[in-house]
Amino acid sequence: MINLLLFPILIPFLFAAILLFFPKKVKAQRIITIIGLLTALSSAFVLLWKVKTDGVQSLTLGSWAPPFGITMVSDMMSALLVTSSLLIGLFVVWFSFTSIGIEREKSFYYPAILFMLTGVNGAFTTGDIFNMFVFFEVLLMSSYVLIVLGGEKVQLRESIKYILVNIVSSSLFVITVGYLYSVVGTLNMADISIKLADIGQAGIVTVIAVLFLIVFGIKGAIFPLFFWLPGSYAAPPIPILTLFGALLTKVGVYAIIRTYTLFFTTDIGFTHELLMIVSILTIIAGCIGALAYFDVKKIIIYNIIIAVGVILFGASVMNESGMMGSMFYLIHDILIKGALFLLIGIIIHITGTSDLRKMGGLIKRYPVLGWSYLIAAFGLAGIPPLSGFIGKLLIIQGGFENELLWQSIFILASSLIVLLSAIRIFIYAFWGEEKGALDFHPKTYRHLLAPTITLVVLTVLYGVGSEYLVPFMTDATAVLLDPSVYSNAVFGGGK
C-alpha cells in the first residue's frame, strides 16, 4: 500500500510513453489520455486518504536506508497538490478535445501534458533536493514542447525568452544545491533539516536560503523575477495557458514554502522578513498589471502574480492561521485560475479577440457563460462563501496575530483590485451593445462549456464545503510548522 505515493507519478509517465507510438491517431490519443488521468486521479485520492488516516508516507527507493537512497515523501500538502494538479490536467484535456485543433493533437500534445504532470507531481512528492531539480527539468522539457506547439510567430518569440530564463534558473538551482551540499553533506531533505538545525544560525545558510528564494522565485514569478511570465503565458493556446497558469507557478511556490518551513528556520528574522517584503511587492506588481491591460489573458495572468504574493505572505508569518490560509489559498488558486482561463477561452472563441475594447453584449446570447464568469470572478476576489474567502481570511488573521497590521490591511485591500480587474472583463465583454460575436456553432459552445461549468461548480463547492476540508488543511499545516514530523516519517520508515 505504501508504494501508492509513486502511482500519481508513474501512471502519467507510462501512459505518455504509450501515446508516443501513434501520434496521428487522435481518437485513440484522447481515450488513452482520459483513462490515464482518471486512473492517476483515483490513485491520488486513495493516497490522500492514506495520508489522512496513517500520517506522512515515505518510500526510499532501491532498499537503501535514508538518507542514502532517493526518498519520496507524501505528506498532506504534497498529496493535496498532486490531486489538484491531476484534476486540472483532466479538465484541460477535456476542454482541449474541442478547442486545441487536430494538428496540435497530432504533434505529441497529449504525451507532453502527461509528461508535464509527471514532473509536477514528482516535484511535489520528492524528498530529495537534487531529485526536485530533476523533476523540475522533466516538467520544463514538456512545457517547452507545449509553448511552441503550433509554431505561431508570437509563440516562437516568447518561447525563446521562456527557455532562456529557465536555463539560467536551472543552472542557478544546481549551483545552489552544490552550496547546500558543501555545508550539510546530504541531499535528503529530512536529513538537511536535521543538519541545518544542528548548525544553527550561520551566515552561509542565510545566503543559501536567499539563493533558493531566487531560484524558486523565478519559477514562481515573484517580484522582480516575474518579467518573463505575462508574455510567455499569453502566447500559447488557451488549454496550454490554463495548464501553465494553474500549475507551473505553484511548483515554484510549493518549493519556497517547503524549503522555508523545513530547512531555513534558524534565521527567521531575516529570511522570512525578506519573504514577506517580496510577497507584498509581488502583490503590488500584479495589481498594477491587472489594471493596466485591456487584454483578457493578461488581466488573469497578472492575477496569478497577485495570488503568488498572497500565498507567500501567509507562509512568511509562520503561524498556524497564516500557514493554513496559504494552504487553502494555494488549492483554491489552482482551481479558480483553471476555471477563469477556460471561461476567457470561450469568450475569445466567441469574439475572435482577447481585446476587451472589441467585445460587448455577450450576456444576451450567452447568459450561462456570463453568470458563470461572474461567480468565478467573485471566487477569485474572495467574496464569501466562495473559494477564495476562507484562505484569505486566515492569511489576514495570521498577519494580525503577528501584529502585522498594515501588511494585513494591504492584503485585504488587494482583494478590491482583484475584484475590479475581474469585473472589468465582465462589464466590457457581457454588458453594453453587442459587438464582436462571431458565428459560433451551438454544439461547439456546449462542448466547451461542459468542462468549464463543471470546474466552476467545483470551485463553489470548495468554498461552501471548506469546513469539511479543515482536517486536511490542519494536517498539512502541522507538518509545515513542525519539521520533525517530516523527518521522523522519513527516518522511521513512514509507518
With beta carbons less than 8 A apart as the criterion, state whether 229 and 75 touch: no
Percent of the chain residues past pLDDT 70, beyond the cut: 98
- Give 72-112 pLDDT, tens digit per residue: 999 999 999 999 999 999 999 999 998 888 888 888 999 99
Name the residue among 288, 261, 277, 264 with its Cα closest to residue 313.
Answer: 277
Distance CA 265, CA 318 (A): 10
Query: Packing angle between helix 203-220 and helix 153-184, nearest 10 degrees?
Result: 160
Enumerate residues 6+ apart whose C-beta is below 8 A from 174.
Answer: 133
- Give 218-261 pLDDT, tens digit per residue: 998 888 888 888 888 988 999 999 999 999 989 999 999 999 99
Distance CA 159, CA 14 (A): 27
Distance CA 52, CA 62 (A): 26
> What single DSSP character describes residue 247?
I
Cell numbers that stand for 44 in this block: 491520488
The single residue listed with the C-alpha cell 511552441 is 148
Task: State yes or no: pLDDT of 476 exceeds 70.
Answer: yes
Name the residue among 411, 389, 415 with its Cα closest to residue 400.
Answer: 411
Task: State yes or no: pLDDT of 384 exceeds 90.
Answer: no
- Give 288-299 pLDDT, tens digit per residue: 999 999 999 999
- Whole-number pLDDT of residue 495: 37
Query: Packing angle between helix 483-491 and helix 466-481, nearest 10 degrees?
Result: 80
